[in-house]
Amino acid sequence: MLNKQYIENLYKLSIKIAAILILYQLCRLLFFFYNLEYFSNINLIDYLRIIKGSIRFDISAIFYVNSLVILFSLLPSNLIFKRWYKNVIYYLFIYCNLLGIVVNIIDVFYYPFSKSRLTISFLNEFSNEKNIFRILLEFCKDYWFTIPLLVIVFYILKIIANKTKIDSKTIHFTKKNIFSSSIICLLCLTTVVFGFRGSFIFNNRPITISNAGKYTNNPNEISLIVNTPFSLIRTYTLQDLKRKNYFKESDLLKYTDIVKLYKRKKIVKKNVVIIILESMSTEYYGFYNKDQKDYSGYTPFLDSLINHSYTSHNSFGNGTKSIDAIPSILASIPATEFHFSLSKYCTNKIDGIGSILNKEGYQTSFFHGAPNGSMGLESMNKLLGIKNYYGMDNYNNKSDFDGAWGIWDDKFFNYFADELNNMKEPFFSSIFSCSSHHPYKIPKEFNNKFKKGKHPMHECVQYTDHSLKLFFNKIKHESWFKNTLFVITADHTNISFEKEYRSPIGIFRVPIIFYDPSNINLNEKSEKIIQQIDIMPSILSYLDYNKPFLSLGNNIFNNKNGFAINYNNGFQMIIDEKVVIYNELEEEITKIFDFTKDLSLKQNIINDIENIKIEQYKNKIQSFIQTYNNRMIDNNFSLEN
């Protein structure tokens, strides 16, 4: 015998869940239209496919977010009809779902910066940020319209909660209906568990972000299929790399040669300065965009420097966050499914360029204008062997603080120049700029100095470029200047306006520039595919370093064809003018695109590629993954271990 009041309670719970599913789809629609430039090739049929694929991810997230609401509503007990108990369910429903929708809406506006859904690493990255409240205030000022939007959502949730309240004040459970209600409760909870997992097949593993690739034409669409609560939940539970055994150790080196040894006589102890420019994508440079009509770019100084430097038109970053850039550039450790700096493996022994050059008598240092400790960069540099760290605390003049991130670029580059002038040679030093970033401000004395672009970011880019010009003008007559190799890159890309830079590989296009004022022969403009993890081995090769070291990257100055590996909701490899998409779940290459002819990566040409070539690509990606995972697990990224 069924209890009608209990069944009515289940019915109203179902209405709640269905209503939240609709709200998630409305959030997805907002996400789609606000970021339409990144999904411009999606038509109505494509969007319907995306909606179909998104349902299982939404159900999983909604069941997690509402787990307490569901549990408390399903209990076959008289408590369900107690006033205080109903109030607990009422407020849990409103505020848990408000939180879920808040993070979805935040992601609508944050996506152009991150190019992916928020993950738990975003929270970890800023957990120790001293200026977090200032940064949040700036975000709220620029995106003020989110506040009334969230107020509307709050009242919608209140309406749903009120409409689905239990009307009955009493309930009588007899021996018969308590048994039947308990069976229904267990069946419903079992369904919820399968909903968490995203599959009703018991043997299937719980769905992850990678599962969304099944419903996509290219990797960018994964961010449209999943939702932010799901992304946060799944990355929170992602703790361990999995050991891979695709190849025997003896065969692994055929595909990934991690032990580097350059046959040179003696190291040339030139100074090395690495300049990491915040968010300075190649999209902003005139040099890298000469094929665009009437486009001169926003980096006149850097474009002039490139005329006397080595660079490639196909240079890529290995992550989408600032915290990814430091291990990539200084230790050849790319971001994969983990952000290395935030993972449990960040305390592993790593042979970074700092620890290598320390042994050769170099002074090593790192400069960042943000408060010391920001984003964990100070501790990460120490781990990679950089002995001295200079931040905002060392600068010791808060009047030059930009109000959000750190010291204005022109002021901090000037400070950097003064410190370099006092260093004993040989030295290795790196600086990470701050100003070319949201909230897109420049010092008042530079107002109206630069041309206006399509976005305030373009003025910031010009300001940082000008700051770099002032820096080089200050140091170019110093005795150490001509004995120095300069490497200039960006940590990651930023907000994009051109179609090419919104694609799954465009979001990784950053400059990599090698400049030596004493070497006129270091002046090549290449088409070779290079990546940030190539910077360390290339520097060591240039210095004629002659001892073995470990690196997942390669020397860009050799004659071999290059490649780049990124993690974009799954592994993708850029090689042979192709973008190769690897599905970790199926352990197969599933898509291949020709990025020279198909900028948006819409046409999957895998059926036009020979099987032997596909197998070669697969071997290269799998060997890279096996090398990375197993060495991280075994703490084996140092020859001293």
**Of the ranges 133-142, 334-343, 497-506, 536-545, which is most confident?**
536-545
Mean pLDDT confidence for 157-177: 76
DSSP state of 80: G
Residue carrying structure tokens 């071997």: 619
Query: Distance between CA atoms of 436 and 439, rounded to whole angstroms?
Result: 9
Query: Distance between CA atoms of 81 and 61, rounded to whole angstroms?
Result: 27
Mean pLDDT confidence for 418-428: 97
Mean pLDDT confidence for 391-409: 90
Query: Distance between CA atoms of 76 and 17, rounded to whole angstroms?
Result: 19
Give every CB contact of residue 288 below 8 A, 6+ residues apart in sequence: 282, 297, 313, 509, 511
DSSP state of 218: S
Mean pLDDT confidence for 621-628: 95
Closest CA to 5 of 181, 183, 159, 179: 181
For 590, the token pair is 């599933």
Mean pLDDT confidence for 485-513: 92
Provide, rounded to the nearest whole percent, the portion of the chain with pLDDT above 90: 56
Query: Distance between CA atoms of 152 and 227, rounded to whole angstroms?
Result: 20
Q: pLDDT tens for residues 366-386?
A: 999 998 878 778 888 888 889
| Omega within 30 of 0 (cis) for the link into 537 | no
Mean pLDDT confidence for 147-175: 82
**What are the φ/ψ torsions at residue 235 (nearest 5 degrees)?**
-80, -25
For residue 591, the tally of other CB atoms under 10 A from its CB is 21
For the chain, give the mean pLDDT: 89
**What are the φ/ψ torsions at residue 565 (nearest 5 degrees)?**
-120, 130
> Residue 172's pLDDT is what?
64
Is residue 619 within 8 Å of residue 597, measured between CB atoms?
no
DSSP state of 364: E
For 282, the token pair is 């190649």
Question: Picking from 61-70, 128-137, 461-470, 586-595, which range would have the lowest pLDDT averaged per residue?
Answer: 128-137
Q: Which CATH number fits domain 249-633: 3.40.720.10, 1.10.287.3510, 3.40.605.10, 2.70.98.90?
A: 3.40.720.10
Report the run of H or E that residue 319 belongs to, with start and end: none
198 pLDDT tier (thresholds 50, 70, 90): confident
Mean pLDDT confidence for 466-477: 97
Mean pLDDT confidence for 295-304: 93
Closest CA to 343 of 436, 240, 262: 240
Give the max Cα distance, the chain. 93
Mean pLDDT confidence for 106-115: 84
Query: Distance between CA atoms of 299 and 295, rounded to whole angstroms?
Result: 11
Q: pLDDT tens for residues 21-34?
A: 999 999 999 999 99
> Residue 168's pLDDT is what?
62
Mean pLDDT confidence for 219-243: 83
Report the run of H or E that residue 621 belongs to, with start and end: helix 611-633
Pairing of strands 512-515, 427-432: unpaired
> Residue 291's pLDDT is what?
84
Q: pLDDT tens for residues 244-267?
A: 999 988 888 888 889 999 988 899
Prediction pTM value: 0.81
> Residue 203's pLDDT is what?
56
For residue 31, the tally of other CB atoms under 10 A from its CB is 22
Residue 258 CA: distances (Å) to CA of 355, 356, 384, 550, 624: 17, 16, 18, 5, 9
DSSP state of 207: P
Provide, rounded to the nearest whole percent, the portion of the chain with pLDDT above 70: 94
Could you tell me which residue, 320 or 101, shows the higher pLDDT? 101
First to last CA, the chain: 68
Is residue 513 within 8 Å of residue 305, measured between CB atoms?
yes
For 247-259, what is the HEC assignment?
CCHHHHCCCCCCE
Assess whether pLDDT exceeds 70 at residue 1. Answer: no
205 pLDDT tier (thresholds 50, 70, 90): low
> Residue 171's pLDDT is what?
57
The residues spanned by each domain of the chain are 4-236, 249-633
